[in-house]
Amino acid sequence: MSQRSGNSWNASWVVGAFAMAASSACSGGMHDARAMTAVEAETLVSRPPPPEVPRVEGLSTIGARVRIGAPPAKVWQVFAVGFGDVDDWAGAGIADSECTSGAGGELGAVRSCRIAEHMPFFGGDDYEERIIGWDEKEGYFSVLQTRATGPTQILVNESWVDGDGQGGSVVTGLVHVDFTFPVSLMAGSLRSSLKRKQVEGLIGLKHLCETGEKVTQDNWEAVVERYPHVLTDNDV
C-alpha cells in the first residue's frame, strides 16, 4: 500500500441524511450547499483512481477526510477487506450488514445492509452495494449502490487509504450522488446532511481502528462527541 498523503470513504448514510434534510426543510431551515466541482474533488486526492475504474460524470460530489492513528494496513483491513462488516463502525443508521456475494476485499463483492428500525421513513429496509473498483496497491476501492432504498437513483463511493508519513493513515472519501425527483428539489440540504453522515461514519472508522471498540446504535453519539475536531476539519 502506498504511503501517499491521501484519502478514503464508503457510503451507507444517505438514508439518515434524507431524514435530517426533510426535517430541516419542514422546519424552514433548508439551505443550499453547493456541489463540489471536479477540480475541488481532485484536491482531496493525491492522484486519480486507476484508469480501469469507471468514472462518474454529471453527479453531485461530496468529500471528507479523516486522519487515523493506525497504520494503513490495519485501516485497509477494517475498511476495505472487512467490506461486509460496515455495521461495526458506520454508526446508528445500519443495524446489520453482511457480504451476500463474493468476499470482502475482492472486485464484484456485494454486501447487504439493513437500515435501523428507528430511522425515519426507511427503518427496517435494506439495500445492496457492490465493489466496482479495487486496487490494494494504491489503497483505493469504489462501491456502487446497486439496490437502493430512499432518495438516490445513483450513489457511488470512492475511497482511498494512505499513509500520513508518521505511521498513521489518512482516509479520504468522495460520494457521487444523483437524487430522485421530487427529493432532488431539496438537493442542497440533502448534500449538507449527507456530508455530516459521511464524516460521522469516518469518525466511527477512526474510533474502531484506534480503540478496537465497535460503533453501535447505543454508543455512536458518544463516539462522535469524542472527535469534534474531525467535524470542524471537514467544515461540518
DSSP 10-23: ----HHHHHHHHHH
Q: Rounded distance, CA 199 to CA 71, Å? A: 20
- Among 2-11, 134-143, 185-194, 201-210, the range scoring the smallest mean pLDDT is 2-11
Q: Rounded distance, CA 132 to CA 157, Å? A: 10
**Residue 75: what pLDDT?**
97
Q: Cβ distance 224 to 198 under 8 Å?
A: no
Which positions ≥6 away from 55 have C-beta within 8 Å? 49
Q: Looking at this protein, which amino acid is placed at residue 136?
A: E
| CA neighbor of 113 nearest in space, from 141, 85, 137 | 85
Q: Check residues 167 and 28 and name the one with the higher pLDDT.
A: 167
Residue 34 pLDDT greater than 60, yes or no: no
Structural domain 14-233, CATH architecture: 2-Layer Sandwich (3.30)
Cell numbers linked to 101: 456475494
The mean pLDDT of the chain is: 77
**Residue 16: what pLDDT?**
43
- The predicted model gives 140-165 an average pLDDT of 82
Please provide the distance, in angstroms rounded to a whole number, between the alpha carbons at the two ends of the chain. Answer: 30
Residue 23 pLDDT greater than 50, yes or no: no
Which positions ≥6 away from 130 have C-beta within 8 Å? 101, 108, 109, 110, 143, 144, 146
Q: pLDDT class for 20, splitting at 50, 70, 90?
A: very low
Instruction: List strand residue ranges (DSSP E) for the chain, in order.
Output: 60-68, 94-101, 110-115, 126-135, 140-147, 152-163, 169-179
Residue 118 pLDDT greater than 70, yes or no: no
Residue 120 pLDDT greater than 70, yes or no: no
Percentage of the chain modeled with pLDDT above 90:
39
Which positions ≥6 away from 31 have C-beta within 8 Å? 24, 188, 189, 192
**Residue 187: what pLDDT?**
64
Q: Rounded distance, CA 122 to CA 150, Å? A: 7
Q: Chain-centre distance of CA 21, in angstroms?
A: 17
Q: Check residues 67 and 37 and name the one with the higher pLDDT.
A: 67
Q: Rounded distance, CA 139 to CA 162, Å? A: 6
Residue 142 pLDDT greater than 50, yes or no: yes
